[in-house]
């Protein structure tokens, strides 16, 4: 369940008389659209949070403003009204507010977008490296090297394989193969500075 912040109550009480009904109505609509929203004060104005900043409202000398934290994800082209901070334009009376349904839709869209953004995209897992034939034969001949190679995490194996297959000449590859097998036999992980 969401929470209300007394500082927001004080903010509304200190606002100019024309702004109080607008701010109360905006607050009620945000809580109706997202009951789990929490209130706070950021940068001197009321913010509503749901897994991070969701939207805000502010009162000025002659108008109020309301906006979404990630407005580019919430509003389609043409839905933003210019002329003031936020995305709803200059709000001078409650009749300047969008319909309850329209604002409810925008707030729900902001909640969905915020939830999607809160889940960081995991980078795709790279498959374990394919063992080159020459390295496979060399490891089969040295059981200690094979045991160390198998004990390495996929990233450690990948370092050895990429270093080996990155050689441009056959002589360089042969030298790298001998060095890799001796290091693995000694129980050492790949160290690019000593490769």
Query: What per-residue confidence (pLDDT) applies to 110?
Result: 81
Does residue 91 register a pLDDT over 80? yes
Domains and CATH numbers, the chain: 6-118 (3.90.1150.200), 133-185 (no CATH)
Distance of CA 116 to the CA centre of its chain: 8
141 pLDDT more than 80:
yes
What pLDDT sits at residue 175? 94
Q: What is the mean pLDDT of residues 15-35?
A: 91
| Lowest-confidence segment of 30-44, 65-79, 94-108 by average pLDDT | 65-79
Residue 170 has pLDDT above 80, yes or no: yes
- How far from 77 is each of 83, 88, 115, 159, 168, CA to CA, in Å? 16, 13, 22, 47, 52
Over 70: is that where the pLDDT of 194 sits? no
pLDDT tens digits, residue range 53-69?
A: 888 999 999 999 888 87
Least confident segment among 41-55, 66-80, 154-168: 66-80
Tell me, what's the pLDDT at 117? 52
Place of tokens 């991070």: 52
Distance CA 138, CA 124 (A): 31
**Across all residues in the chain, what is the average pLDDT?**
84
Pairwise CA distance, residues 111 & 32, whole Å: 13
């Amino acid at each position: 369940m969401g929470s209300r912040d007394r500082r927001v109550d004080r903010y509304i009480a200190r606002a100019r008389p024309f702004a109080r009904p607008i701010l109360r109505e905006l607050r009620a609509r945000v809580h109706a659209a997202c009951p789990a929203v929490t209130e706070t004060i950021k940068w001197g104005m009321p913010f509503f949070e749901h897994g991070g900043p969701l939207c805000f409202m502010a009162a000025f000398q002659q108008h109020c403003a309301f906006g979404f934290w990630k407005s580019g994800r919430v509003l389609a082209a043409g839905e933003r009204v210019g002329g003031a901070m936020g995305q709803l334009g200059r709000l001078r009376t409650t009749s300047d507010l969008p319909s309850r349904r329209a604002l409810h839709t925008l707030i729900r869209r902001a909640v969905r977008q915020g939830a999607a953004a809160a889940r960081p995209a995991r980078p795709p897992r790279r498959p374990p490296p394919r063992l080159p034939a020459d390295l496979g034969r060399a490891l089969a001949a040295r059981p200690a090297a094979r045991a160390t190679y198998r004990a390495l995490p996929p990233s450690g194996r990948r370092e050895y394989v990429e270093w080996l297959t990155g050689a441009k000449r056959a002589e360089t590859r042969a030298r790298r193969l001998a060095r890799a097998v001796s290091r693995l036999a000694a129980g050492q992980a790949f160290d690019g500075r000593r490769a």
